Amino acid sequence: MAIWVAFGFAAVVLINHGLGLGGAVFLFAGAGAIILGFLGHVIVNAVYATTFTPRELALALVIYVVCLISFGVATLLDRDFASRNFLALSADFIVIGVVVITYMIIHFGVRRTFQAFDVIRDFGDESRSSTSGAEK
């Protein structure tokens, strides 16, 4: 978590300044800080011979989706925001998503990457196994 605190704080400061007077360069630097935090987390996982837990994946997915929704709402409601930040933030979201998905596909393969996010199937398996166990 110490890696995410350091890089996350830097990302928040850079993105906040980029949304204000800083411009696209600071928005790209903020996305870079997020990517460096992710790569630091990957290195720590490699050192401790572990992977991302389902809770870490869920937290990252929720944060990513909340940021995307916030970006969409801000773009729709504020013309000035859209004209200044749309391209830079769109590129940031795309690059962050590509980096994370590329890492997961390289590390886990396509099937295990899909299974990491396929919670419906996991839920269905548990309900079937508990039902079949009760019937026996």
Give percent of the chain with pLDDT exceeding 70. 84
Residue 64, Cβ density class (10 Å: 0-12 exposed, 13-18 middle, ≥19 buried): middle
C-beta of residue 18 within 8 angstroms of C-beta of residue 71: no
Per-residue pLDDT band for 12 (boundaries 50, 70, 90) equals very high
CA distance 62 to 7: 18
DSSP states along 76-105: HH-HHHHHHHHHHHHHHHHHHHHHHHHHHH
Question: Rounded to whole angstroms, how far apart are CA atoms 105 and 115?
Answer: 11
pLDDT tens readout for residues 91-125: 999 999 999 989 988 887 877 777 766 655 555 55
Q: Kindly state the tokens that stand for 16.
A: 């906040």
Please give the DSSP secondary-structure letter assigned to residue 116.
H
